[in-house]
Amino acid sequence: MPPALEQTLLGRYEAYWDAVYAAGDPGGGQPADPEDPALAAATMDPQLPATQAFLTTLRDQGQVLRGRPTTAPTVLAVLDYDQLGVVTDCVIDIEGSGVFDAATGAAIDPTAAGTSTPVTAELRLADATWKTSNLEIVEGRTCAQSDG
């Protein structure tokens, strides 16, 4: 795989996480924003509506998502005539992450720092831009040191 393509895929995968956490906590005491344009720029169906539904629930409850996890993705493959990229990662929660009340800042559902979750993501080429189309937790797999 060409190094430039690998770097593009990794960068676009990171853009997904950046968009989710920016929309999850827009600041100023505002709850999550499921309509943040950065989401559509980094994500597509079926992951986009799933992410928006999660953020809508947070918004409707006056909550935010804080503490973007640490990621260290690896590109596994590029398939389907270079239209599909598959990335694996070990997502690690950081201190102070989880769901919080937007107005008070009180923790509602904090996550334990260092909790690791193995994920696989699919990115698809749409209008000349790679977007995360699917992100799944890999059940039955634990994160290995080399995953992140």
Measured CA to CA, the distance from residue 13 to residue 110 in angstroms comes to: 24
* 59, 33 Cβ separation under 8 angstroms: yes
Q: Taking a C-beta distance cutoff of 8 angstroms, is the pair 68, 17 a contact?
A: yes
The string of pLDDT tens digits covering residues 100-116 is: 999 999 999 999 999 99
- Domains for the chain: give ranges and CATH numbers: 3-138 (3.10.450.240)
Q: What is the pLDDT of residues 16-71, one digit of tens each?
A: 999 999 999 999 999 999 999 999 999 999 999 999 999 999 999 999 999 999 99
Residue 147 has pLDDT above 70, yes or no: no
CA pair distance 68, 79, nearest whole angstrom: 29
User: Is the pTM higher than 0.75?
Assistant: yes
